[in-house]
Amino acid sequence: MKKEDILIILAIFMLGAVLNANAYKVDLNEKKIEYYKNLDYNLWKDKQEKQIKKIQIKI
């Protein structure tokens, strides 16, 4: 194999790795968006109140 062939193969693998990482990032962003869409205000409020109580207990 020539040096150019090895560089081309390496470039293809690098491109695949970058595209896979970007696809994983997009998938995580979509999951985060779905989480926030499904988050009910009352549920959020209850969690905030519990967090405040925990902080008050620690203080």
Q: How many CA within 13 A on the CB side of residue 1?
A: 8
In a domain? residue 42: yes
How far is 54 from 10, CA to CA, in rounded Å? Answer: 52
- Domain around 57: 26-59
In a domain? residue 11: no
pLDDT digits (tens, 9 = 90+) for 1-59: 788 888 888 898 888 888 787 777 777 888 888 887 777 777 888 888 888 888 888 76
In a domain? residue 56: yes
In a domain? residue 51: yes
In a domain? residue 16: no
What is this structure's pTM? Answer: 0.41
Question: How many structural domains compose the chain?
Answer: 1
In a domain? residue 39: yes
In a domain? residue 13: no
In a domain? residue 48: yes
Confidence at residue 59, expressed as pLDDT on a 0 to 100 scale: 66
How far is 14 from 10, CA to CA, in rounded Å? Answer: 6
